[in-house]
Structure 1
Amino acid sequence: MTKQQDALLAVELMDLTSLNTSDTTKDIQALINSIRPALGTPAAVCVFSDFVDDAKIALAARELSHVKVATVTNFPTGDAPLSDVINETLIAIERGADEIDLVIPYKKLAAGDTQATFKYVSESKKACGTQAQLKVIIESGELKTEALIAQATELAIKGGADFVKTSTGKVAINATLESTKVMLTTIKNSGERVGFKAAGGVKTVADASEYLALARSIMSDDYLQATTFRFGASSLLSDVYKVLEK
């Protein structure tokens, strides 16, 4: 694939993200105004639950209502009680969220408690029902070992995840090619049609190209569509547009 082709694909697979504690309605509007449909439109925007309404309104105003709105739960530490997480999920769906990106209780998993992860995923999936897709953040950089990354991915799949996502983007090590390889191989071996999302640290078309090549080698070309592959990114869009303008 050429750099131009990868850039075009990357924008179509992107969850354009703003998850800063300082975010305001104006920031979300600016995020959506940064989309240039003539150069490609992202699959989704990912914002805090408080801004789901604002994102929907801003997208509609630009005739971009087909762009999905994602939000996060149990974010970023994975430490909230399950009842709070389910409450967060139901409120986000009521606000119009199309996708829920759930952080698993990864510290509990690292300490040997597999049941908590399964429960957070399966209960969140129930709460999503048919109204929202569930993307499960395993925080691969904090799990560290291949065995734990594979185990977290397996538990997410068994719990009903529609996607398994690397990271929150809020820890020292976020998406890496090494963890991506483990996650994609685990998804493939499960035999389930589950998506994958690389988040945190994918900043340029060159970065994106490496992930696309790896996914292609493990999962085939057919996997590289918005229903099964995403990038969670904030600065990637501007680099993609620079490449596409040339």
Structure 2
Amino acid sequence: MYNHIKVTPNKNNVGAIIEAELSKFNNDIIEDVKDALAEYGVVFFRNQKLDSETYIKFAKQFGPLAEYPMLEGLEGHPEITVVEKKPDEQIMFGEGWHTDSTYTKEPPRFTMLYSVKTPEKGKGNTLFASQYRSYETLDDSMKEKLKDLKAVFSADGPISKTRNNRVKEKGTGIDPKSLSAIHNIIKENERNKKKSLYLSPGHAIKICDVDDEESKKLMKELVEHQTKDEFIYGFEWEPNCLALWSNYSVLHNPVNDFNAHRVMHRITIQ
């Protein structure tokens, strides 16, 4: 199926490891990566040497780059958001299950995360939960119930507190309460028509067109389903790794189990 890369599926068929030298990408490699990404929802590359220019150039092969509204970007490369935890900090940016920037009118379709500095291997893993599998394992009555439902997503949702340290340093001044959007709970991948659940626990605050009690009950039920162990794979970081995922197809959750300096470079893509 893949002629220019080697693809090895992960545990639970959640994501896959790809062997390719991304600093020397070409159109054939990009098309294979796009196929693997559509199939698995998230793909990982180890042992990459990417300077910021090459990283940005690679990211642009997947679509226009998106701005992150809450923080200023890397100096000289505003397309890159620095995701950092300092050794003395207790809270880590983005900890908790979520998918990126769902509170924007057109949320980024893809996210890339490149590891610059990491704690010891086995610490600071990022968990990914397949929302393909989450959708596929719903019973038919629930699929029917959800097919036309939408939810409200807010930048002031439960995960907002995890960005406070970085906002103090390089926030853009935007009030998170001013950023909200409504999106369908079910997404369909244009490349292969696979359906997925799209409900970010870190940002979703209400399901539309149902009363508050039903909304709370349904969201609780869905989040518990979305994050079942059998849908999850944990990626062990080390320096010079790249993860690329579809925000429509997976949830992610960085594990805050270390006291060390961690620096990641993130790019989001429309």
TM-score range, shorter chain: under 0.3
TM-score calculated relative to the size of structure 2: 0.26
Q: Which has the higher contact order (CA 8 A, sep 6+)?
A: 2
**Which structure's CA Rg is the greater one?**
2
User: Which of the two has greater helix per residue?
Assistant: 1
User: Which of the two has greater strand per residue?
Assistant: 2
